[in-house]
Homo-oligomer: A and B are copies of this chain.
Amino acid sequence: MEYYSSHISNLIEELGRLPGIGPKTAQRLAFHIVNLPKEQVGTLADTIRDARENIRYCKVCGTLTDAETCPICADPARDHRQIMVVENSRDLAAYEKTQKYEGVYHVLQGAISPMLGIGPDDIRLKELMQRLQGDVDEVIIATNSSLEGETTAMYISRLIKPTGIRVTRIASGVPVGGDLEYIDEVTLLRALEGRTEL
């Protein structure tokens, strides 16, 4: 890439290391960036650095946050006796966006995956079990509906069952607005198994 300035080549290379950014996209972004106002580029660079340097994990639930305890865990209005177990902070955010869930969360920071060599000790299960020694009524397992997510859900439910705490799993089925024609058979069977009375 000798055709550009070395600064641009470096930028293209750095951007190209991000997930989902191929060489063409990196090039397009780099040219866009060098044509932006200086202040805006400064803000972008600072924001990137700040986010990385100031990020920490909530000491209760393990989500990414600014403070020692995240706003959800620190909120007395939330139901701390109901814990939803999710794989990561993005999944937590997805449920928060519904604005209907009033319990708290536990972020595993991963899922059990024998393929990737991620075992039960590599995700935040020990921390979950410690939390369950407090007053907890229900653990809602909201790991993804993937092989890893299901394996993790199964593992957690077996771990918690002996404690007598109620363990539930979010429903699996046809997404709202989904057209049956385009939905895979496994999902269709799940939707059938999970049918409810009308």
Query: A: which residues have CB within 8 A of B?
Result: 1-8, 10-11, 14-15, 17-21, 25, 27-34, 36, 38, 40-55, 64-66, 71-72, 88-90, 92-93, 96-97
Query: A43: which B residues are within 8 A, CB to CB?
Result: 14
Q: Which residues of B are found within 8 Å of A96, using beta-carbon distances?
A: 2-3
Known: A7-B66, A66-B7. A52 touches B27 (CB 8 A): no
In whole angstroms, what is the CA distance A2 to B93 when docked? Answer: 9
Mostly, the A contact residues are: helix
Please name all residues of chain B whose beta carbon is closer than 8 Å to the beta carbon of A20 when the two chains form the complex: 25, 28-29
Question: Which residue from B7, B18, B36, B55 sits with its C-beta under 8 Å from A8?
Answer: B55
Residue of B nearest to A65 (CB): B5
Query: Nearest-CB distance from A35 to chain B (Å)?
Result: 9
Contact partner of A38 (CB less than 8 A), chosen from B32, B38, B52, is B52
Let me know if A53 and B27 touch, CB within 8 A. Answer: no
Point out the residues of chain B lying under 8 angstroms from A19, CB to CB.
28-29, 32
CA distance A90 to B89 in the complex (A): 38
A14 to B48, CA, bound (A): 9
Contact A48 B3, beta carbon cutoff 8 Å: no
Residues of B contacting A88 with CB < 8 Å?
A: 31
Q: Which of A8, A32, A66 has the most CB of B within 10 A?
A: A8
